[in-house]
Amino acid sequence: MRKIVLDIETRNLFQDVGTNNPADLDISVVCIYDYERDMYQSFLQEDFGRLWPILESADMIITYNGDHFDIPLLDKYYPGDLTKIKSLDLLREIKQSLGRRIKLDTIAEATLGKNKSGHGLEAITWWKNGEIDKIIKYCTEDVRITKEVYDYALKNKVLKYKDAGAIKDIKLDTSTWEQKSGSAMTFSLGF
């Protein structure tokens, strides 16, 4: 099974575009981890032609809040429909089990003993300042943390979070996570 962990940083905020629709934002960078190649990569908008074949060959895209944010935003650039690729949104899985949303940083701290290296608002400032390398480094670290959270959940069937100072478990049913869905994408590949 070819799994791709994905995260996106944007050039702007919802308040800049006047809506809460992720597709109205603009992407600064997309970072991925490809399990098959054991490799991290980053893609600016002008590089998306190299990203599409990777996503099209994926059996599953793994994200944190990707079903609500990353995939709809990236889909506006894609010539087909990225929602046809199986998606595993860790935040959705957490919400289904716990009944509420928890920040990735909170999960990472309690589960992995590490924190994110920053927050998305910094990435927008870096974009405005032309500091693309900082955005790529930050986004890649988010992908790394998301991958490690996914790997931990898959192995242990649980994630952890801190609630009022106490570390608590979020039980997860991972039994179907790595089942192939059978969909194939070919929108940008040559025929």
Q: Can you give the pLDDT at residue 141?
A: 96
Query: With 90 as the cut, is the pLDDT of residue 116 above it?
Result: no
26 with 16: CB under 8 angstroms?
A: no
The domain total for the chain is 1
User: Could you read off the pLDDT of 163-190 as tens digits, one per residue?
Assistant: 988 999 999 999 999 988 765 555 555 4
Whether residue 130 is contained in a domain is answered as yes
Q: What is the CATH number of the domain that holds 66?
A: 3.30.420.10
Tell me, yes or no, whether 189 lies in a domain: no
Which whole-number Å values give the CA distances from 5 to 14, 18, 94, 136, in the listed order? 24, 29, 17, 15
Predicted TM-score (pTM) of the model is 0.92
Q: Residues near 113 by Cβ (< 8 Å), separated by ≥ 6?
A: none
**Is there a domain that residue 134 lies in?**
yes
- Tell me the per-residue pLDDT of 120-131, one tens digit each, with 9 for 90 and over: 788 999 999 999
Domain residue limits at 10: 3-171
Q: How far apart are CA 69 and CA 59, in angstroms?
A: 20
Residue 73 lies in a domain: yes
| Residue 117 covered by a domain | yes
